[in-house]
Amino acid sequence: MLVVSEEVRTAVAERRPVVALESTIIAHGLPRPRNLQVAEELEAVVRDEGAVPATIAVLDGAPCVGLTKDQLQRVAHEDGIRKLGHRDLPLAVATAASGATTVSATALLAARAGVRVFATGGLGGVHRQWTQAQDESADLGLLARTRIAVVCAGVKSILDVGATLERLETLGVAVAGYGTDRFPGFYLADSGHPVDWTLHTPDEVAEVIRAQDALGGPDAALIVANPVPRAEQLDPALHARVLAEALEACEERGITGQAITPFLLGELVRRTEGASLEANLAAVRGNVRLAGRIATAWAGR
């Protein structure tokens, strides 16, 4: 059922470096035509680091690991592309639907295809006011049972970052800062929360991946939290002000549940005049570049 491109399948079989890339940012995170330009740019960054890109999506009910140029264009330009978490995959397959994969779906399909390194922007996590709504991203539970290294810029700053870190600890998901002892905040280099472990080189990350395999413990992800460069982060004061105003607007308008995240992200883009989007892209580029280097270091085992 899993359709793995010949390039990715061969690279995995020959133990050459491969980096998984999610497709939600292409279909739902960026405006056209920039979304396709960014998708092609990110694949090029992976290749520049000596690795094979494996962008993942579901097309006509087929989970695809590694997309052709035509398939990438479909994800970027076709109307009706759904947003698929891992729980949606059986439904999409059975109904021959097409969709872009979130972190949870991408991590699952990548691991099934034998891809060990995955780059994304920011993880989902525990939402603010969890005690009332008990709203938590499916990313966390999936990563607790999937052996994959995820390079990200932390979790989205609209979430409860402290509670998310506590939840990851409870679930047994390892978290390490890359070159930092602070957990990044997606648009920000520092979320205000520390991390217990710091890794400094791709080789060190690769050693942790090897140690996971050697220990043979429960299948769980390794989160490599790579901060956006401070020169490219969103201004922290602007971020704090806009987020506070957007949260207040949620309260006033009665926006709840799954509608909260897209509303807050949209408000951040609008009220920062696109600066939050540029910080997001800076973080994604850095994560993809680092993931390529980690995959190369791990493949050299």
**What is the separation, in whole angstroms, between the first and last Cα of the chain?**
30
Q: Which of 282, 248, 280 is nearest to 265 (CA)?
A: 280
> What DSSP letter does each residue of 69-100 carry, written as one string?
HHHHHHHHH-TT-EEE-GGGHHHHHHTT--EE
Residue 251: active-site member:
no
Phi, psi of 39 (to 5 degrees): -60, -45
Q: Which of 43, 49, 136, 156 is catalytic?
A: 156
Q: Which of 84, 70, 68 is nearest to 27 (CA)?
A: 84
Q: Which of 22, 43, 49, 136 is catalytic?
A: 22
Residue 156: active-site member:
yes
- For residue 229, give the DSSP letter: P
3-state secondary structure of 84: strand
The sign one gets for the Cα dihedral 60, 42, 189, 269 is: negative
Q: Is 40 exposed, middle or buried (0-12, 13-18, 19+ CB in 10 A)?
A: middle
Going from the C-alpha of 141 to that of each of 116, 220, 254, 280, the distances in angstroms are 18, 10, 28, 24
Distance of alpha carbon 118 from its chain centroid, rounded? Answer: 8
Residues tagged active-site: 22, 156
